Amino acid sequence: MIYLELLWAFIQIGLFSIGGGYAAMPLIQHQAIDVHGWLTMQSFADIMTISQMTPGPIAINAATFVGIQTAGIPGALVATFGCVLPSSIIVLSLAFIYYRFKGLKAMDSILKGLRPAVVAMIASAALSLIAMAFWPEGMEGSTDWLNAAIFILALLILRIWKPNPIIVMAAAGCIGIAASFLV
Total interface residues for another protein by CB under 8 A? 104
**Which long-range contacts link 15-18 to residues 24+ away (Cβ below 8 Å)?**
15/86, 15/87, 15/90, 17/59, 18/111, 18/114, 18/118
95 binds another protein (CB under 8 A): yes
**Nearer to another protein by C-beta: 116 or 140?**
116
Of 3 and 69, CB closest to another protein: 69
Residue from the set 15, 33, 36, 135 that interacts with another protein by CB under 8 A: 15
Q: Establish if 52 lies at the interface with another protein (CB under 8 A).
A: yes
CB 2 within 8 A of CB 72: no
Binding test (CB under 8 A) with another protein, winner from 4, 40, 117, 141: 117
- Secondary structure letter of residue 31 according to DSSP: I
| Euclidean distance between CA atoms 107 and 57, whole angstroms | 22
User: Of 5, 6, 64, 71, which lies in the binding site for another protein, with binding defined by CB under 8 A?
Assistant: 64
